[in-house]
Structure 1
Amino acid sequence: MKSNLIRFSVIVFFSMLLVNCDKDESENQTLQSFNVEETELNAKVDNTTEVISDIFLQTYEHEESIVKSPIHPFLPECAMVTIEITDTSKEVIVDFGTEGCEVRSGYILKGKVNMSYTRNVDAMTLVINYTLEDFFVNDIQFSGSRTVTRQKANDNGNPQYIMNMDLVVTFADGTEASRTGTKTREWIEGSFNGNWGDNVFLITGEWATNFKNGNMHSTTIKTPLRREAGCRFLVSGVVDLVRTNYSGSLNYGDGLCDNLAMFTSSDGEEYEIEL
């Protein structure tokens, strides 16, 4: 009888141990899946904010070009541009409408970009303010503002844009996040030649993304991100990520134009991320 009781106790112990192991493994897999999902969402925001930066820079540089054509060469025909000029200031509104316009990179944009600045073509440094109104990139909504400091030439002799971000991002499923920080875009190739398609930028900076559920993401660019106007995705560069539940790095590749990046966790585990 005592032997049967001991045998039964051992069986119960190992059964409970097995159940707990299965439960822990299931919880770890769920957390892992959630972490990868949030990393993917964050990467999508990083990539689509560059689309906004493209539109902003294209519009500003065309408006302030010495030789300017009456038709904007970089915006789709469905985008309406409204300009208000005074002796000292200029306001530019780009309206992509409520149905949306497809830009050259293949993204569908909706809503308005409102831009204003002091007119001074000779200034080496110029501050430009812009806000987003009912603005979408595909199905991701962006609202908020940016202050951009444009430098005609940085220490490398290249045009440069320092962007202070204060944005709210809303995904199609209702997930909401706020983003604040600073990003610098250095124009390293194709500047002022009238052909946006051969332009290349290097991006540095750091920012914080706070999700509405309380999760906080801190991002620091470790290796400058490379943005080529001929590709709709970031093609290279590495960012360090610190999250509420995990940390790691995201590598955008070695220059190939594709929609993939590789996330490496602090434990050394690798996951492919779709942009």
Structure 2
Amino acid sequence: MKKVKILLALVSLGFVACNNDSETTNDNLATSESVNSEIVIEDVESVLDNISIYSDASFGVSSVSKTSTFGKGDHRGESQYFNDCVDVTVELVDETLTTTIVFNGECEDHDGNVITGTITKVRSISDAGKERTITFQDLSINGYLVNGTQTYSYVIANVNGNPEFTSTIDISIVTDEGTISKVGTKTVEITAGGDTYSCFDDEKTITGSSTFTDASGATFTVEITTALVKPVDCRFIASGVKTYTTAEGTITVDYGDGTCDDVATKTDVEGNVTEITLGRKRHH
């Protein structure tokens, strides 16, 4: 009888061990999927960055003393970023400059991102730092509904002589798994093409950190540990590393050696390496 009890105890311990291993594996899988979701919100944020910067007065989108609406065919300023499906209105009232950007229908930008809804950008012309506050109304990017705010300040020439903007973002997007959100700051430097108005010759270098919350409410930190680079004529980030610090351990995402493609590699807490597809659109 004593031997039977010992055997049953060992079997029970075996089940407990198996269950614990299973829970750990499931936790790691859930965290890994959350990292994939963070990549989605990163793609959305990249589109917002482009809209913010290329709708700036530094790219020929401005108004001196009255409301002005750009007509079709003039590319909405001098960057040529905005297509004919976009209406941009700039209004100066007293000391407040308001830029309203309306994406009509399923409007595509030059990178193929599908955008609908309205973005409003407000700044005070008396503000020496020229900080802009951006809000969203019924905004959808690649099928993801976007809520929240973004503030940023833009300088024409940083210490390297390049255009640069620093932004603080607090956004959430609705995915098939639920609502995910991101709060953080980053700096985007135009390291090539900054001497022209055109958006087509711009290379961007990105640094920063943020806190991400997945659909279950779990949070982790994200830091760009090697600057991300989006080359000229590439819609994707082509190099750089992001490091995710989670309750289960550290996960890294490596965007590659500079080759323009839609693939990044993810190394999970156990050292397993898988591929991530960038620029994913939501399917309905």
What TM bracket, shorter-length normalisation? 0.7 to 0.9
TM-score by length of structure 1 reads: 0.84
AA aligned to 1:230 is D
What's the CA shift for 1:259? 2.0
Structure 2, unaligned stretches of length 5 or more?
A: 64-69, 279-284
Structure 1, unaligned stretches of length 5 or more?
A: none
Give me the CA root mean square deviation: 2.8
Q: Distance in 2 between matches of 1:160 and 1:93?
A: 22
What's the CA shift for 1:16? 4.8
What's the CA shift for 1:111? 0.9
> Is the contact made by 1:124 and 1:152 (CA closer than 8 Å) also made in structure 2?
no
Match of 2:228 among 218, 225, 228: 225
Partner SS for 2:55: helix
Q: Distance in 2 between matches of 1:106 and 1:137?
A: 11
What's the CA shift for 1:207? 1.0
Q: What is the 5 A alignment of 1:127-142?
A: 127-142=131-146
Partner SS for 1:39: helix
What's the CA shift for 1:11? 6.8
> Is the contact made by 2:75 and 2:83 (CA closer than 8 Å) also made in structure 1?
no
The alignment status of 1:126 with 2:122, answered yes or no, reads no
What's the CA shift for 1:141? 1.8
Match of 2:45 among 45, 49, 53: 49
The alignment status of 1:116 with 2:112, answered yes or no, reads no
AA aligned to 2:173 is V
Q: Deviations over 1:103-140 (max 9, x none)?
A: 111111111111122347xx984222211111111122
Q: Deviations over 1:7-34 (max 9, x none)?
A: x678756755664555444434433322
Q: Distance in 1 between matches of 2:29 and 2:216?
A: 16
AA aligned to 1:135 is L
AA aligned to 1:104 is H
The alignment status of 1:104 with 2:110, answered yes or no, reads yes
Partner SS for 1:96: strand
What's the CA shift for 1:101? 0.8
What's the CA shift for 1:166? 1.6
Q: Percent identity?
A: 23
Higher RCO, Cα 8 Å, sep 6+ = 2
How many residue pairs end up in the alignment?
A: 266
Aligned partner of 1:152 in structure 2 is 156
AA aligned to 2:29 is S
Partner SS for 2:118: strand
Q: Deviations over 1:125-176 (max 9, x none)?
A: 4222211111111122221111111112111111110101121222144x11
TM-score by length of structure 2 reads: 0.82
Q: Deviations over 1:180-232 (max 9, x none)?
A: 11110111100141321120111111111123523002111111111235222
Q: Which moved more, 1:216-225 or 1:9-18?
A: 9-18
The alignment status of 1:62 with 2:56, answered yes or no, reads no
Aligned partner of 1:214 in structure 2 is 217
> Is the contact made by 2:34 and 2:214 (CA closer than 8 Å) also made in structure 1?
no
AA aligned to 1:39 is V
